[in-house]
Structures are given as structure tokens and as C-alpha cells.
């Protein structure tokens, strides 16, 4: 089984963090840990009532501690909501030190968002990239160690394959495959962002949550029981690697592209393919051209004037229905 994994306790006073999907599961545990260390943590979620319940629970679990937590609305199935979330944050804060892209879904059926994009792809991957693009200017100017942490999965190694051309195809939809692909894309985008942000104070890594998660991850048994609660650790244990990636001093500057159990993990051959990474980046930028914003484009080295229309990237409507 190996040694039990843990994360260091560091002083985060004066630092600001955003955690998506922060009201439950690993997002809740990550939020609680960062707040306990003194960070101001913005809980980016769809439901304000559920966030308020999570805040109350957090205060009960940490009695006597002053926790600086706040809510901002974020629906990752909506580009406009994602932009509004980032704009609200930027209007209230000058700097961002930690962005934890934790939220995710496993779709049970094919569904298009209001943006006419398959919902799992947009929620797990595309709008997290949009959020990064909108917020990276606040991270790049913080002048200190800033972290972007994307919660991926070792499942991308065994199931994921680059299939952006079929993103909006109802016929090609497979819930396990689509989910694994989004986790693959997170790892691939991490590699691209590492290259594009190498001269800034922003470091980027992707991480598989959990301690002894999916010990039989390569087997058919794992595929059959992909969402079975009994195969997963508690959220507190699952969050350890995420929190480690957010705060460990050892990762400052040059973190690995992908981590599991608080140490580097070899990503798939597909995820390591530089040409496919850049292809994914270009595809994503085309889809998001109208929403990325000039500041984010500048930091990421994107020339929006040369990016083709997103309508030229999406599949024809006949393939969407």
C-alpha cells in the first residue's frame, strides 16, 4: 500500500484561492484545508444555498477558528456564467494565488449546453480552461508563487483518447470514455500552460485525487465499477493529493505535469504528445475566442485576431442531434 500520504501545513495568510465545486467532496475538503491555513477561499459553485450549508458545516468542524470563505456563482456548463464569475472576482480582488479546478461531472446521457457543446466536455474541461484564461492575469501579477491545479484522473491513461472531432456527436457518446477524455484534456492542457507560463510566477499541475484510489484501475472491474462509491476513498483522503499540489513548497516553480499520491505519475503517451497538446489548445481557443478576453490572451500568448470563428470548429448541427 505504501506510506500514508499527507500535505504540509503552510502559512497562507494574505493569499487568495478559488476552488470550483467547493461545496462537497474533495472540493469541500480542499477549501477547508486552505482556509484553515489562513487563505481567503472563494467557493465557486452553482448553488449558493449549498455553499452556505457547506460553510456552516465547516465552522462546526473547525470550532473557534476564523475562516475567510466566500461564495461566487459559477456554472461551468455556461460560458457566460464562467466569464461573469471571473469578472466578479477581478472586480473585487487584485491578485489570485491558487486556482483549483476541481468540479466535474460524469454524464449519464448525451446533452448539449446552452453553448451547443457536449456538457461533460464543457463542464469538466472547456470552461475550466476559460476560467484559467480569464483569471491568469490576476495570477501572473501576484509576484509570488501562484498555482493552477487541475483535478484529473489516472483513468486518462487507460481509457482516454483525443477525440475532439467527435465532441458533439450523440452517436459517439460513451459516458466513461467521454469522462476519461476530459481528464486527458486537462493533463494535455497542463503541459501547454506550463510552456506558455514558464516565464511567469504561475505554475501548473494536474493531479489524480485519492490515496489508494482505483488500485485495479487498468482492469475491466474498474471500468465496470467506475462510479461505485465503495471503490473510492473518503473525500478527506481523496483531497490530500489536491491540497498537496496547491500548497507544497517542493512544487514551487517546476511541478510535474501530472501527479498521483503526492508524487509524479507518468501520464499517457497520448497526453505527452506535444503536437496533440497544441492541437487541443488551438481547438479550445477557437471554441472560446469570443470569451477569453484580451488580458488572458496576452498572458497566454494568443493572437485573437488570427483565431477562426468558433462556428467553424463545432460539428454541423446534423451531427449534434
* The three-state (H, E, C) secondary structure of the chain, written as one string: CCCCCCCCCCCCCCCEEEEECCCCHHHHHHHHHHHHCCCEEEEEECCHHHHHHHHHHHHHHCCCCCCCEEEEECCCCCHHHHHHHHHHHHHHCCCCCEEEECCCCCCCCCCECCCCCEHHHHHHHHHHHHHHHHHHHHHHCCCCCEEEEEECCCHHHHCCCCCHHHCCCCCCCCHHHHHHHHHHHHHHHHHHHHHHCCCCCEEEEEEECCCCCCCCCCCHHHHHCCCCHHHCCCHHHHCHHHHHHHHCHHHCCCCCCEEECCEECCCCHHHHCHHHHHHHHHHHHHHHCCCCCHHHHHHHCCCHHHCCCHHHCCCCHHHCC
**Distance (Å, rounded) from C-alpha 11 to C-alpha 196?**
28
**Distance (Å, rounded) from C-alpha 131 to C-alpha 87?**
10
**Distance (Å, rounded) from C-alpha 9 to C-alpha 6?**
10
Annotated catalytic residues are 179
Query: What residues contact 227, with CB distance under 8 A and at least 6 apart?
Result: 106
- For residue 308, which of 320, 290, 293 has the smallest C-alpha distance? 290
Q: CB burial class (10 A; 0-12, 13-18, 19+) of residue 321?
A: exposed
Amino acid at each position: 500500500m505504501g506510506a500514508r500520504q499527507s500535505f504540509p501545513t503552510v502559512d497562507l495568510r494574505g493569499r487568495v484561492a478559488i476552488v470550483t465545486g467547493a461545496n462537497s467532496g474533495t472540493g469541500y475538503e480542499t477549501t477547508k484545508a486552505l482556509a484553515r491555513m489562513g487563505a481567503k477561499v472563494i467557493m465557486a459553485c452553482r448553488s449558493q444555498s449549498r455553499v452556505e450549508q457547506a460553510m456552516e458545516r465547516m465552522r462546526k468542524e473547525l470550532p473557534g477558528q476564523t475562516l475567510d470563505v466566500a461564495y461566487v456563482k459559477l456554472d461551468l456548463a455556461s460560458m457566460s456564467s464562467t466569464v461573469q464569475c471571473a469578472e466578479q472576482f477581478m472586480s473585487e480582488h487584485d491578485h489570485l494565488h491558487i486556482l483549483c479546478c476541481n468540479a466535474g461531472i460524469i454524464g449519464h446521457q448525451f446533452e448539449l449546453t446552452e453553448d451547443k457543446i457536449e456538457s461533460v466536455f464543457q463542464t469538466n474541461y472547456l470552461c475550466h480552461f476559460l476560467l484559467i484564461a480569464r483569471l491568469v492575469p490576476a495570477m501572473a501579477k501576484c509576484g509570488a508563487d501562484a498555482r493552477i491545479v487541475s483535478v484529473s484522473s489516472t483513468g486518462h491513461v487507460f481509457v482516454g483518447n483525443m477525440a475532439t472531432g467527435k465532441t458533439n456527436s450523440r452517436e459517439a457518446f460513451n459516458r466513461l470514455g467521454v469522462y476519461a477524455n476530459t481528464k486527458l484534456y486537462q493533463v494535455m492542457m497542463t503541459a501547454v500552460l506550463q510552456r506558455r507560463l514558464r516565464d511567469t510566477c504561475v505554475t501548473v499541475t494536474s493531479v489524480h485525487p485519492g490515496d489508494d484510489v482505483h488500485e485495479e484501475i487498468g482492469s475491466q472491474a474498474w471500468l465496470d465499477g467506475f462510479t461505485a462509491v465503495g471503490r473510492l476513498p473518503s473525500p478527506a483522503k481523496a483531497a490530500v493529493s489536491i491540497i498537496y499540489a496547491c500548497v507544497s513548497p517542493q512544487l514551487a516553480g517546476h511541478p510535474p505535469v501530472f501527479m498521483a499520491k503526492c508524487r509524479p505519475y507518468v501520464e499517457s503517451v497520448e497526453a505527452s504528445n506535444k503536437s496533440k497538446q497544441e492541437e487541443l489548445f488551438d481547438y479550445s481557443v477557437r471554441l472560446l475566442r469570443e470569451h477569453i478576453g484580451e488580458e488572458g490572451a496576452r498572458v497566454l500568448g494568443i493572437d485573437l485576431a488570427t483565431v477562426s470563428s468558433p462556428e467553424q470548429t463545432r460539428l454541423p448541427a446534423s451531427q449534434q442531434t
